[in-house]
Amino acid sequence: MSDVEEIKAKIDLVDFIGKYVPLKKAGTNYKGLCPFHVEKSPSFMVSPDKQIWHCFGCSRGGDVLKFVMEKEGLSFPEALQLLADMTGTTLSKVATGGIDKRKNLLSINELAAKYYEKVLEASAEGRKAQDYLVDRGLKIETIKEFRIGCAPTNGRAVLEFLQKRGIGAPEMEAAGLVVMKGRYPKDKFFGRVMFPICDSQGRVVAFTGRVLDDKGIPKYLNSPETPIFKKGEILYGLHLAKESMQKLGYAVLVEGQMDVISSHQAGVKNVVAASGTATTEAQIQMLRRYADKLVLALDADNAGVEATKRIFEIASRFDMDIKVALLGDAKDPDSLIKAGGNWQEVLDKAVPMMEYYFSVAIDKFDTKELDGRKALTKELLAVIAEVNDPVEKDHYLKKLSSLVGVEVRALYDAVAKPLIKKPFAGDKKEDKGGDKVSPGWLEERIMALGLFRPELLELIVPKAKTLKWASGLANTIYEAVVSCYTSPDLFNLEQVMNKLPDYEKTAVLELLLVVEESYQDATTNELAHEVQLYLGMLLARSVASKRQELVLAIAEAEKANDRDRLNQLMNQLSELN
């Protein structure tokens, strides 16, 4: 048995997924609300006998490994390792190859995090760091929850601590904890409050160190990028926020780590930060796994406004519903909370992006002055021009009109001319759900229907022989079927499954789950119709492409003045028609 099979055999998928999503029995399968897209009625299915899941809403699906990969944002080897740990399975060397090094770096960072925590808790220097944090309004529980620690001023503290545990300087350097000064290793972080940065699993992958007094330079020092820490792929606080994001259906993105920490302390837990970097597409994509609504609450300065616009564009590409929290006079969420503001209420009152543009422009320009009104009009018209929805556009033009005292008619004329032309979010949805009925899709459906109702194979097998397969998967199923198929009565699904290569089994089971759910009440006659329809569509496609090939070849032959070939091709073409 392979590692994967061994692990799968130890897990019951219904129980496993049931811990993430409430599941209800529906026929032979279980049904629930999809954890990967937001929906009101359940289209997420789990099959206990196939040990396969599939969502009919977002088309995600697979086995337990795929579920863990999607849910926790892990690579295949990481998901395998996680499940191996859970089930007490020892992985063979082949499977672990790439992750040993990562595991080692993770355990070094974990040791260091524990050490920094200990220093904060139980040393004179740590006391100073604690005082600083308490001064900034943090409670001891919060400090513990975020595992905040302290790096002593002695520049060899972590080095010596880790050395005693048998870790060499090169490994510490690889983990980003130690730097080489000439030939001598030295702590990277010293005399700093240490904030561990964790991955979505809560494993420490890096640190941010902040100076205690504001004299030190730089104020914030981050771990370098390592094999386990890619700045643009980590969201600070995600491991503590993901559950709440899923529950509430929206995520809050803030700028600083302190904003995340204060927010948690104030009981608002669905908050993360892209600390130390501009928010990347990868980070938004990660958030999208947990919620499809996003509230932006970046700092209320120019950089924050620019970042808000940029993230809006990125998140729109992922079809997220985006709002912006207006912080009033506070410069960031942390100071809003410290000043006693009602943070949850601020989030509840978050406004659509266009309202945010208005509020920023009103702050920026003096509408009492003509010049101010002109500048404000110009700036807002540029963004209103990009609104596609006519009702929405009308609404904002009226709003602008009353703000600057210019007739709506004149503003309409202004937006009729293209002020700026750039691709804008909102036009990018065309490929969503687009051409689902590709030849590959048709072939897979046909073969899956054959497995589901073997009577159909009499119809499918002879026709499928002539197919030029577009889907490797469908072709594999076909080969497996014909290798053991004699008649529908003697058809044995297990026999066919055994002929399939391991890596295709999951995909075939998922296909089966899909057709079973889609066609459970259909009669064999109705299904035969469906298969005929699909085969017809495939045939039409192949005729069309054959015709195109011939037309091209005819043109070639004409050019080359090749009479014989031309005649031959013309004959073939007339046979097609």
Which amino acid would we find at residue 401?
A: S
Residue 211 is a binding residue for Zn ion (CB under 5 A): no
When binding is defined by CB under 5 A, the residue of 7, 21, 55, 221 that contacts Zn ion is 55
CB-based burial of residue 151 (10 Å sphere; 0-12 exposed, 13-18 middle, 19+ buried)?
buried
Q: Closest separation between CB of residue 34 and Zn ion, Å?
A: 3
C-beta of 22 vs 536, nearer to Zn ion: 22
Stretch that binds Zn ion, among 5-13, 54-62, 335-343, 472-480 (CB under 5 A): 54-62
C-beta of 117 vs 292, nearer to Zn ion: 292
Q: Closest separation between CB of residue 42 and Zn ion, Å?
A: 10
Q: What is the 3-state secondary structure (H, E, C) of 293-308?
A: EEEEECCCCHHHHHHH
Stretch that binds Zn ion, among 26-34, 65-73, 457-465, 506-514 (CB under 5 A): 26-34
Q: Closest separation between CB of residue 43 and Zn ion, Å?
A: 6
Q: Closest separation between CB of residue 317 and Zn ion, Å?
A: 19
Q: b vs e for 1-15, b when ≥16 Cβ sit within 10 Å of the residue's Cβ?
A: eebbeebbeebebbe
C-beta of 34 vs 150, nearer to Zn ion: 34
Q: Closest separation between CB of residue 58 and Zn ion, Å?
A: 3
- Contact indicator for 201, 243 with CB cutoff of 8 Å: no
Q: Closest separation between CB of residue 553 and Zn ion, Å?
A: 45
Q: Which two tokens stand for residue 85?
A: 């740990």
CB-based burial of residue 489 (10 Å sphere; 0-12 exposed, 13-18 middle, 19+ buried)?
exposed
Report how many residues bind Zn ion under the rule CB under 5 A: 6
When binding is defined by CB under 5 A, the residue of 3, 14, 33, 37 that contacts Zn ion is 37
Stretch that binds Zn ion, among 58-66, 103-111, 252-260, 358-366 (CB under 5 A): 58-66
When binding is defined by CB under 5 A, the residue of 18, 48, 57, 352 that contacts Zn ion is 57
C-beta of 55 vs 273, nearer to Zn ion: 55
CB-based burial of residue 253 (10 Å sphere; 0-12 exposed, 13-18 middle, 19+ buried)?
buried
Stretch that binds Zn ion, among 36-44, 324-332, 420-428, 452-460 (CB under 5 A): 36-44
Q: Which two tokens stand for residue 120?
A: 């904060």
C-beta of 55 vs 260, nearer to Zn ion: 55
- Say how many residues make up the chain: 577
When binding is defined by CB under 5 A, the residue of 21, 34, 235, 347 that contacts Zn ion is 34
Q: Closest separation between CB of residue 45 and Zn ion, Å?
A: 10
- Contact indicator for 450, 478 with CB cutoff of 8 Å: no
89 CB neighbour count, 10 Å cutoff: 17
Q: Closest separation between CB of residue 246 and Zn ion, Å?
A: 13
CB-based burial of residue 568 (10 Å sphere; 0-12 exposed, 13-18 middle, 19+ buried)?
middle
Residue 193 is a binding residue for Zn ion (CB under 5 A): no
- Contact indicator for 501, 476 with CB cutoff of 8 Å: yes
Stretch that binds Zn ion, among 34-42, 374-382, 396-404, 457-465 (CB under 5 A): 34-42
C-beta of 18 vs 57, nearer to Zn ion: 57
Q: Closest separation between CB of residue 445 and Zn ion, Å?
A: 20
C-beta of 21 vs 397, nearer to Zn ion: 21
Pairing between strand 271-273 and 250-254? parallel
Half-sphere exposure of 320 (CA within 13 A, CB side): 31
Q: How far is CA 48 from CA 67, 230, 452, 503, in A?
A: 14, 38, 17, 20
- Report residue 96: phi and psi, to 5°: -90, -20
* Chain Cα centroid distance, residue 455: 41
Stretch that binds Zn ion, among 35-43, 125-133, 364-372, 522-530 (CB under 5 A): 35-43
Instruction: Name the residue among 406, 422, 425, 405 with its Cα closest to residue 414.
Output: 406
- Contact indicator for 322, 301 with CB cutoff of 8 Å: no
C-beta of 37 vs 186, nearer to Zn ion: 37
Q: Closest separation between CB of residue 433 and Zn ion, Å?
A: 13
What residues from 341 to 400 belong to the interface with Zn ion (CB under 5 A)? none
Q: How far is CA 408 from CA 79, 101, 417, in A?
A: 57, 64, 15
What residues from 440 to 479 belong to the interface with Zn ion (CB under 5 A)? none
Q: Closest separation between CB of residue 486 and Zn ion, Å?
A: 39
Residue 36 is a binding residue for Zn ion (CB under 5 A): yes
Calpha distance 341→259 (Å, rounded): 13
Instruction: Name the residue among 63, 71, 75 with its Cα closest to residue 4.
Output: 63
C-beta of 59 vs 277, nearer to Zn ion: 59
When binding is defined by CB under 5 A, the residue of 58, 326, 351, 482 that contacts Zn ion is 58
Q: Closest separation between CB of residue 232 and Zn ion, Å?
A: 26
C-beta of 291 vs 296, nearer to Zn ion: 291
Q: Closest separation between CB of residue 61 and Zn ion, Å?
A: 9
DSSP letter assigned to residue 489: G
Which residues of this protein are in contact with Zn ion, per CB under 5 A? 34, 36-37, 55, 57-58
